[in-house]
Amino acid sequence: MTVWIIITFLLLVSVGIWSMLTFYPTFGARPTSEERIRHASITPFYKKGKFVNAIPTDMRMDMRTMLSVFRDFSWRQPGRKPAKPLEVVDWEKAEPASETANRVTWFGHSAMLLELGGKTLLLDPMLGRAPSPFPAIGGKRYSKRLPVRIEALPQIDAVVLSHDHYDHLDYGTIMQLKGKVRRFFVPLGVGKHLVRWGVDPSAIQEFSWWEEGEFEGLKLVSAPARHFSGRGLAGRNSTLWCSWVIEGGGTRVFFSGDSGYGPHFREIGDKYGPFALTLMECGQYDERWSNIHMMPEETVQAHRDAQGGVLIPIHWGAFTLSVHDWRDPAERATAEARKQGVAIATPRIGEAVVIGSDTFPTEPWWRQV
C-alpha cells in the first residue's frame, strides 16, 4: 500500500509540473516541428533542434564548480545589493524638434528607452518587480519605483528584444505594454512567446543573425551575441539570442544584449561601425560563466572592438543575479575606460544621455548609496 501511495504522489507531482510548464503563460511557448524546420532553413546556427553560438561556448560545470556556485549564492555577503533603495530620476519626454531629441534613458538593468530618428523604442523592457517566473518570490528590484509608470509612457513605436530570459523579456511588462506598442523586433523564435501573450502576429518581425530590416526611417540589424536562451525547465536554446545595430537620423547605436566576449564585436564594428553610442552588458558576471557574460574589462574592450564612441554600461543596477558587489560593474568598467581612454557615461536610473553630445553624466553616484 505504501508503495502505491508513493507512486500516486509522484504521478500527481509529475502531472502538476507538466501542467504548469504547459499552461502557465509566463513560461511562453514552445516551437512546433514546422517552426524547427523553418529555423534550420534560415540560419546555419541552428543544429539538432537548438540554436548555437558562432564559436564554441562551453556552459557546463563540473560538480565542484556547481557546489562552489551554490555556496557563494547561499552566503549572504554584504554589498550584493544596495543598503537602501536606489533613487531614480523622473523621465520627461523630449521635445521632438529639440537638439536633445536623439537620446537614451536607462531604466535599470538592460531596459532602455531609446528616442532616435523621431521614433521611440524600448530595448529589453523588463519593468517588473523581479526577473522570475514567480515575481512574488524573486529578488526585488533595487529601486522602489521606475522613472516613469508604464501607463504614463507615450506610444512606443517598437519594442526591441535581445533574447527571452526573464530579466530581459518580462511577461507582466509585455501584458501592460502591448496595447501601446506598434511593432516588436525579436530574434528567431521569440515571437512565439509574444503571440501566446496576445500580441498580434502581424506586429512581430523575427530576425536571424545579420538580417537587416527597415522601419519608417530606422535601420535595424540583428547581430550575433554569445549567450543562450530558455524560459522553463525545458526548451533551452529553442529561441535565438542577439545584439542589435539601430540607425536613425544619421546616428548609429549598438545594443549588446547579453554576451560573453568574442570576435563578433570586432566583426560588428567592421560591418556597421563606428557607433555614436554603445549599450554594453556589464554586470551579473563571474569567471565561472564568463563565456556568456563579459567581465567589466571585456565590456570596455568590446566597445572598442565595435568602434564605439560613448559607452554606457548596462545589465547592472537593478537586480542581484551574481555574487559580485552590486557596485563593482560600474567601478571596474570606469577604471578600465580611464585606462584605455574610452568615453564612458554613467547615468543614474532615469537620467537621459543625449546621443552625439560632448557632455554626458559621469558622476560615480553609486558610491553615495
Q: Residue 99: what pLDDT?
A: 53
Strand, helix or coil at 214?
Answer: strand
For residue 187, the 8-state DSSP code is E
Percent helix, strand and coil across the chain, each rounded to 5? 30, 20, 50
Which grid coordinates are listed for 164? 527571452
The per-residue pLDDT for range 203-224, each reduced to its tens digit, is 999 999 999 999 999 999 999 9
Q: What is 3-62 written as a DSSP string?
A: HHHHHHHHHHHHHHHHHHHHH-GGG--PPPHHHHHHHHHH-TTEETTEE--SS-------
Q: What is 99-146 written as a DSSP string?
A: TT-SEEEE-SBT-EEEEETTEEEEES---SS-SSSSGGGSPPPSBSS-
The per-residue pLDDT for range 306-328, each reduced to its tens digit, is 999 999 999 999 999 999 999 99
pTM equals 0.93
Q: Residue 15: what pLDDT?
A: 43
- Using 70 as the pLDDT threshold, list the residues of the chain that sit under it: 1-23, 95-100
Tell me the sheet residues that pair with 312. 279
Q: Residue 55: what pLDDT?
A: 97
Q: Residue 60: what pLDDT?
A: 87
The per-residue pLDDT for range 2-61, each reduced to its tens digit, is 655 555 545 544 444 444 455 689 999 999 999 999 999 999 999 999 999 999 999 888
Spatial distance between the Cα atoms of 342 and 332, rounded to a whole number of angstroms? 13
